[in-house]
Chains A and B, each alone.
Chain A
Amino acid sequence: MRSSAELLDETRYNVVDLVKFSCTLYCLHEYVADVTALAGPSMLPTFNEAGDIVVVDCLHVKLGRPLQKGDIVIARSPSNPSNTVCKRVLGLPGDRILIQPQYWYQQEHVLQVPPGMLWLEGDNPFNSTDSRTYGPVPMALVKGLVAFKLYPLHEFGPLPRTFRRPGARYPKLDRETGIRK
């Protein structure tokens, strides 16, 4: 039978180890890399609606390395601070973006991305809440770069940085008449 002092000492060491372990895990998730499951229709041709597991490279952002057009990033949602979103970078500071109308009352217009901000859009323009809704997103909200897809296994591998949205088709329209060429 061990004395109560011994037991107390052991419990103390266990609690300290648990705290150290969880804090190390937190730091790894925040600063090095994270494995997350994605859900939602906004990145549809690239990611399935549910069940995708990806590796997020947080070190790239924390080291201050520049993002490029076509990168897929995980960012904290501007419209809800407790959510995160997964979008593709379509504009860097200084780029001029042609904004396609989302609803019937909107018009096509050009916007220049301000310094320190990014233009993020989902790959599925028909069901995506993105910069077209909430405007350019501050770079400070970006948590990491989606680097690698783990699951489903037949799509296992690094993610290509295609700037043009895969699967999306833009019909060529005549400038004057708006009729499909």
Chain B
Amino acid sequence: MVTTGGFSAFSSSGNVRRLLSTLSFLPVGVAVNELIGSFMFVDGRSMQPTLNPAYSGSYTSSRDLVFVAKWPIKVWRRYRKGEVVVLRSPVDPDVEVIRRLTGREREWRTRRVGMRQEPILEGFCWVTGDNPLYSEDSETYGPVPLALIEGWVAYVVWPLNRVGPVPKRVIQAPHAQRMPPQDL
């Protein structure tokens, strides 16, 4: 057996080698989570009839576990109106929020509080929570870029009595009008 005089800690110890070979799968996990899909717990009550219906804010209240599909968004760029999506908050880059995509580009919207119609520009969308009382959404911060959307909330995985696909629901906004914007 040939031995070199230097450090041979990595090759000699089986434990270290095993640890390294396990660590080499870490990027695979990260890439799968970012490109294919991941499981997330839903926090808060902004989507309440649809997600977290029993959530009341206490630690004991149940939270939904959902499967978030990233592939359709990140690879296919499939943004459908009426679907529930995960997006990075436009006001805080560290926070991810779940909202329903209720408007696409080339539409006009009026916020609940306000008089003026505002256009949804090319590449932007309108997101709202299903529970308007408890959600900070496009009614507050206006249209958000589609590039902020990270995934499509496809299935509820937990609790077991509500396992199933998250329903797609196209909400006709009270003042939504479909017309081409004249001058953006």
Contacts and interface: CB of A to CB of B under 8 A. Distances in A.
A159 interface: no
A41 interface: no
B93 to A, nearest CB: 4
Q: How large is the interface on A (under 10, 10 to 19, 20 to 34, 35 or more residues)?
A: 20 to 34
A114 B27 CA distance: 35
Given A30-B34, A138-B144, A140-B88, A81 B28 contact: no
Contacts of B123: 77-81, 134
Given A82-B77, A116-B92, A116-B93, A141 B28 contact: no
Contacts of A138: 88-91, 93, 144-145, 148
B28 A23 contact: yes
Interface in A124-153: 134, 137-142
B145 A78 contact: yes
A114 B141 CA distance: 9
Nearest to B143: A135
Interface in A12-60: 19-20, 22-24, 26-27, 30
Contacts of A137: 145
Nearest to A24: B27
Contact of B89 (A22, A27, A77, A140): A140
Contacts of B32: 23
Contact of B148 (A79, A134, A141): A141
B121 interface: yes
A64 interface: yes
B93 A20 contact: no
Interface string B132-146: 000000000100111
A103 B31 CA distance: 44
Contacts of B148: 138, 140-141
B91 A117 contact: yes
Contacts of B25: 20
Contacts of A158: none
Given A79-B122, A80-B123, A139 B93 contact: yes
Contacts of B145: 76, 78-79, 81, 134, 137-138, 141
8 contacts: A23-B32, A26-B35, A79-B145, A81-B147, A81-B149, A115-B91, A138-B144, A138-B148
Closest 10 CB pairs of A and B: A140-B88, A78-B145, A79-B123, A140-B93, A23-B31, A138-B90, A116-B91, A76-B147, A81-B147, A139-B93
Interface of B: 24-25, 27-28, 30-32, 34-35, 77, 79, 88-94, 121-124, 141, 144-149
